[in-house]
A and B are shown apart, each in its own frame.
Chain A
Amino acid sequence: MVQNIIDVRNLSKSFDISSKEPGLKGTIKHFFRRQTKSLKVIKDISFEIKEGEIVGFLGANGAGKTTILKMLCGLIYPSEGSILVSGYIPFRRKENFLKNITLIMGQKQQLIWDLPPIESFYLNASIYDLDKFEAKKRIKKLSEMLEIDEELFIPVRKLSLGQRMKSELLAALIHEPNILFLDEPTLGLDINAQRNLRKFLQKYNKETNATICLTSHYMKDITSLCKRVICVHEGAISYDGKLDLLLKKLSPVKEILIVCRSEEDAIKLEKSGFTVKNKIKNEITIKIENNSITSSLKTILNNFDIEDLFINEPPIDEVIGKVLIKKDYDI
Chain B
Amino acid sequence: MIFNLINRKIFTLLKVQYSNMLEYRVEIALWAISGIIPFFMLNIWTNNNLNESINISDIMLSRYFLCAFFVRQFSVVWVVFSFEEDSLMGKVSPYLIQPLNPFFRYFAQHLAEQITRFPFALIIAFFFFIFNPESLWIPNLGILLLSIVSTFLSFLIQFLIQSIVACLCFWTEKASSIERLLFIPTLFLSGLLAPVVSFPAYVKSWIYLTPFPYLIDFPANLLSGNETNISGGLIMQILWIFLLFPLFKKIWSAGTKKYTAMGS
Contact = CB atoms under 8 A, between A and B. Distances in A.
Contacts of B257: 77, 91
Interface stretch (B96-104, B183-191, B209-217): B96-104
Contacts of A112: 16, 20
Given A75-B96, A76-B259, A108 B91 contact: yes
Q: Which 3 residue pairs spanning A and B have beta carbons closest together?
A: A126-B12, A110-B94, A114-B23
Contacts of B24: 114
A224 B139 CA distance: 70
A70 interface: yes
Nearest to B10: A126
A128 B99 CA distance: 7
A108 B23 contact: no
19 contacts: A99-B99, A101-B97, A103-B93, A103-B97, A105-B90, A105-B93, A105-B94, A110-B95, A114-B20, A115-B23, A119-B16, A122-B16, A126-B8, A126-B11, A127-B99, A127-B100, A128-B98, A129-B9, A129-B99
Contacts of B256: 77
B99 A98 contact: yes
A110 B91 contact: yes
Contacts, number: 79
A101 B256 CA distance: 18
B91 A98 contact: no
B228 interface: no
A108 B264 contact: yes
Contact of A127 (B19, B98, B261, B264): B98
A122 B259 CA distance: 28
B23 A127 contact: no
Contacts of B99: 95, 98-99, 127-129
A108 B93 contact: yes
Contacts of B5: 129
A140 interface: no
Given A102-B97, A129-B5, 11 more contacts: A76-B261, A93-B97, A99-B99, A103-B93, A108-B93, A108-B264, A115-B19, A126-B13, A127-B99, A128-B98, A129-B9
Contacts of B12: 122-123, 126-127
Report the interface size class on chain B.
20 to 34
B55 interface: no
Interface string B54-90: 0000000000000000000000000000000000001
Nearest to A157: B23
B20 A105 contact: no
B226 to A, nearest CB: 41
| Interface hub of B8, B24, B261 (most chain A Cβ within 10 A) | B261
Interface string B1-45: 000010011011100100110011000000000000000000000
A74 interface: yes
A70 B261 CA distance: 8
A115 B100 CA distance: 21
Nearest to A123: B16
Nearest to A75: B261
Interface string A1-20: 00000000000000100000
B177 interface: no
Contacts of A76: 259-261
B17 to A, nearest CB: 8
A73 interface: yes
A108 B92 CA distance: 10
Given A122-B12, A123-B13, A129-B5, A93 B94 contact: no
Contacts of B96: 74-75, 93
B113 to A, nearest CB: 14
Contacts of B260: 15, 76
A95 B93 CA distance: 16
B93 A75 contact: yes
Contacts of B23: 114-115
Contacts of B93: 70, 75, 103, 105, 108
